[in-house]
Amino acid sequence: MVLSITVKRPFVLYTAVLAFVLLLAYNTQPILRRASLFNQPHQSEGEVMSSWSSKYSGWHTRAGSYLSPESFTPTREGLAFAALYHAPANPDGFSVAFFHPNVAVDARGEILVVNQEDFEGLETLARASLELPPTEFPMNTWRISQRRTDQPIHRLHVPRSADEIVETGVQGFEKGKKALKEPVAGITELPEVLHEIIGLVVEGREGYERGKANEEVISKVKGVLDGV
């Protein structure tokens, strides 16, 4: 009888400890789950998260160098569309401009030869913005819902005719967001055409470093937009 008690005590003790550990682990799970929520990105009520894609993504990488950059002269007649960049620290920024038949000037002031399919696709998207309703906000701006108010503005300039260039702005652009701060003509999300073209315009800023761009070339391009 004594031998039997001696054998069972370690087993009983082990079983009790194991049960206590399992119970502790079970009760800790809800706490860990609640804690993990604090580390997840906050999504406010009404915020629309979206994906971004375009068949023309990578156009900047596919473009080649213009063989005789000194011979290129940007003209109003040749302008397909352009995009400026307005931010608190860079109010007169520049992103990209496209000129017929297939030339682009990027944010670095580099003159590029664009793949013809890319060029035509981007121009088609840019021109589709002319069909959107006016926003009645300064610079005809569509404003994405963001927590911070000092968001940069991408300013798209598209010729409607030889005498008119239409400006359309997108403030607070982010590829994962489309919800607008205020509706525009009953529209509550950034139109898909703007979501796509601004995402492509951003590619024109790849490799840009402030103070290292060819300002002479960029100044000539901006001169085409004077008076807009």
Q: Is the same domain home to 28 and 113?
A: no
Same domain, 35 and 77: no
DSSP strands (E only) in 57-171: 64-65, 79-87, 90-99, 103-106, 111-113, 141-143, 153-161, 164-171
- Report if residue 47 sits inside a domain: no
The residues near 96 (Cβ < 8 Å, ≥ 6 apart) are: 82, 83, 104, 105, 106, 107, 201, 203, 204, 205
158 belongs to a structural domain:
yes
In a domain, 209, yes or no: yes
Would 50 be classed as within a structural domain?
A: no
Question: Are residues 114 and 204 located together in one domain of the fold?
Answer: yes
> Within this chain, do residues 24 and 73 fall inside the same structural domain, yes or no?
no
Give tens-digit pLDDT for 115-127: 999 999 999 999 9
Q: Could you give the count of Cα atoms lying within 13 Å of 26 in the half-sphere of its Cβ?
A: 6
CA 20/CA 23 separation, integer angstroms: 5
Q: State residue 213's pLDDT score.
A: 94
Structural domain that includes position 5: 1-40
- Non-local (6+) Cβ contacts of 49 within 8 A are 43, 176, 177
Query: Does 207 map to a domain?
Result: yes
Separation of alpha carbons 217 and 199, rounded Å: 23
Whether residue 51 is contained in a domain is answered as: no
**Interval 163-215: pLDDT, tens:** 899 999 999 999 889 999 999 999 999 999 999 999 999 999 999 988 899 99
- 30 vs 148, higher pLDDT: 148
Tell which residue, 114, 29, 126, has the closest CA to residue 63: 114
User: Do the domain assignments include residue 45?
Assistant: no
Instruction: Specify which residues 64 forms β-bridges with.
Output: 113
Separation CA 44–CA 145 (nearest Å) = 10
Question: Are residues 103 and 201 located together in one domain of the fold?
Answer: yes
The reply to whether 86 and 170 lie within a common domain is yes
pLDDT-derived band of residue 9, with 50, 70 and 90 as boundaries? low
Looking at the structure, do residues 23 and 118 belong to the same domain, yes or no?
A: no
Is residue 134 domain-shared with residue 22, that is, in the same domain? no
34 and 65 both lie in a single domain: no
pLDDT class for 13, splitting at 50, 70, 90? very low
Query: Are 84 and 112 in a shared domain?
Result: yes
What would the pLDDT profile of 139-154 be if each residue is shown by its tens digit? Answer: 899 999 988 878 999 9
Residues 20 and 70 in one domain: no
Average pLDDT of the segment spanning 51-71: 92
pTM given for the model = 0.77
User: Which range among 43-47, 51-55, 110-114, 161-165 shows the weakest confidence by mean pLDDT?
Assistant: 43-47
In total, how many domains does the chain have?
Answer: 2
